[in-house]
Amino acid sequence: MSAIRPAAVVVLAAGEGTRMKSATPKVLHEICGRSLVGHVLAAARELKPENLVVVVGHAREQVAAHLGEVDPNARTAVQEQQKGTGHAVRMGLDELASGVDGTVVVVCGDTPLLTGGTLRRLAETHHGDGNAVTVLTAEVPDATGYGRIVRDDTGAVTAIVEHKDATAAQREIREINSGVFAFDGQLLADALKKVRTNNSQGEEYLTDVLGILREAGHRVGACVAGDHREIAGINNRVQLSEARRILNDRLLERAMLAGVTVVDPATTWVDVTVTFEQDAVVHPGTQLHGSTHLGEGSEVGPHCRLRDTHVGAGARVDNTVSEGARIGAQASVGPYAYLRPGTRLGVKGKIGTYVETKNAAIGEGTKVPHLSYVGDATIGDHTNIGAASVFVNYDGQEKHHSTIGSHCRTGSDNMFVAPVTVGDGAYTAAGSVITKDVPPGSLAVARGQQRNIEGWVARKRPGSAAAKAAEAASGQGPRED
């Protein structure tokens, strides 16, 4: 394995990507929770290169800042003007001051479907065949725009001809240059000095290095990708959505083969960072993002959007939006719940319908079943929070915390005005506004006394339907049909 460890991977990401028609540089567009260049870096990292250099140019501050976040060990080389892929690689090699002994792999920053496995196969072919350069190629249904792989009668690669420079006969060729190569570093550096700009675009073509090396008597080889879709470069938003679909399918397929039921792959979207355990079930219309994890036998959906959410084994989450939450084993959430960051729901707990939670630790077996807001609160175990309760956490300037004990039964329509504490085993009456601490085991009643003013309707609304109904109910008059 160490034999195929490249001395460097050079990622080309200096181009503008005008066809994206976007204020965002092309390589920063995202699919499945990662930028295009982030996917390429992840694949490149699988080769464990000694150096990883990204050539940046267009919007380079933005791209470099992003690289600092996703791969702080990647180096950047600046290509001030985009004078072609050969020029870009030259800038990349310049960054590796001492020159490069060993293999240099070149990839483009806009091919997010490329896998580490394919890069490894390219490096292995390169070494196995003792090549000076090995190009990754693929047979594509439509080769328009791509560089064509020209082979001689023996099948040996002789050159790459760009679409714009190709003859009619060469344009018939469907084997294309993916833009991914393995090179002998020294030979590459020497050959790049000989690349000219006498082509239709007036650019230094990296692809010309093949012909130069071949003419100098070096071995030039090719490695054909198993799946041409893997090498597709993204140039516009149609291709962006196609790539997202392919990658998403790939991720779901892997999950299904590992024992996850995905009821409707067409409407289920996942990020590369999402993880599953066996027998998790994902119902239609569900989006799983970030570090979301579905535990064994858990069931999520339909129509859930979970980000950075840990779903415990056997838990059930239905029609829910959640971010930064931890849902305990066999707990139940939704339908129509909104879990915000810092929500912790204990084992067998329940966050029910039209309930919003934030920074709330809700204990084991505790239920918040209906129409409530729980913000900045700690609730013990086996407590029941009555319907339509609000944890009043904000005084207009600061947030405050409330604590409810274990085995409490709080009434419906309670306001817990923070900071306030309800002791273990306490009850509160329906409609209470709890502003003072409630000692353990007490019943708190905090509402106006009810007063009935009898005969008020008959006096104030005589002859009305209400008055007639009241009269009939009190048995004082004949009921009219």
List residues near Mg ion by CB under 5 A.
233
How far apart are alpha carbons 410 and 432 in whole angstroms?
9
When CB distances are held under 5 to 8 angstroms depending on the partner's kind, the choice from ligand UD1, Mg ion, none that residue 55 binds is: ligand UD1
Site for ligand UD1 in 176-195 (CB under 6 A): 176-179
| Smallest gap from residue 102 Cβ to ligand UD1 (A) | 22
Which stretches of 21-163 are DSSP H helices?
36-45, 60-70, 85-95, 116-128
Torsion of CA 201, 205, 211, 216, to 10 degrees: 130
Paired with 55 in beta bridges are 12, 77
**Exposed, middle or buried, 140 (CB in 10 Å: 0-12/13-18/19+)?**
middle
By CB under 6 A, residue 146 contacts ligand UD1:
yes
Which residue in 33, 38, 49, 147 binds ligand UD1 (CB under 6 A)? 147
When CB distances are held under 5 to 8 angstroms depending on the partner's kind, the choice from ligand UD1, Mg ion, none that residue 380 binds is: none
DSSP state letters, 393-450: -B-SS-B--EEE-SS-EEPSS-EEESSEEE-TT-EE-TT-EE-S-B-TT-EE--SPPP
Residue 307 corresponds to which tokens in the numbers above? 């980000």
By CB under 6 A, residue 220 contacts ligand UD1:
no
Which residue in 36, 166, 206, 213 binds ligand UD1 (CB under 6 A)? 206
By CB under 6 A, residue 334 contacts ligand UD1:
no
Reported as type and span, the H/E element at residue 11 is: strand 8-13
Of the pair 81, 154, the CB lying nearest ligand UD1 is at 81
**Exposed, middle or buried, 450 (CB in 10 Å: 0-12/13-18/19+)?**
exposed
By CB under 6 A, residue 108 contacts ligand UD1:
yes
Q: Which are the contacts of 377, defined by CB distance < 8 A and separation ≥ 6?
A: 359, 360, 361, 362, 391, 393, 401, 402, 403, 404, 416, 418
| Smallest gap from residue 108 Cβ to Mg ion (A) | 7
By CB under 6 A, residue 233 contacts ligand UD1:
yes
Of the pair 13, 408, the CB lying nearest Mg ion is at 13
Candidates 81-89, 95-103, 184-192, 329-337 — which segment interacts with ligand UD1 by CB under 6 A?
81-89
Of the pair 58, 283, the CB lying nearest ligand UD1 is at 58
Of the pair 86, 233, the CB lying nearest Mg ion is at 233
How far apart are alpha carbons 57 and 61 in whole angstroms?
9
194 vs 88, 181, 275, 381, CA distance in Å?
A: 14, 18, 49, 75
How far apart are alpha carbons 206 and 212 in whole angstroms?
10
Which residue in 181, 205, 338, 373 binds ligand UD1 (CB under 6 A)? 205
By CB under 6 A, residue 13 contacts ligand UD1:
yes
When CB distances are held under 5 to 8 angstroms depending on the partner's kind, the choice from Mg ion, ligand UD1, none that residue 14 binds is: ligand UD1
Of the pair 109, 233, the CB lying nearest Mg ion is at 233
By CB under 6 A, residue 85 contacts ligand UD1:
yes
By CB under 6 A, residue 236 contacts ligand UD1:
no
The answer to whether 182 and 134 have CB atoms below 8 angstroms apart is yes
As annotated, the active-site residues are 370
Peptide bond into 302 cis (omega under 30): yes
The residue count for binding ligand UD1 (CB under 6 A) is: 28
Residue ranges in contact with ligand UD1 by CB under 6 A: 12-15, 55, 57, 79, 82-85, 87-88, 108-110, 146-147, 160, 162, 176-179, 205-207, 233
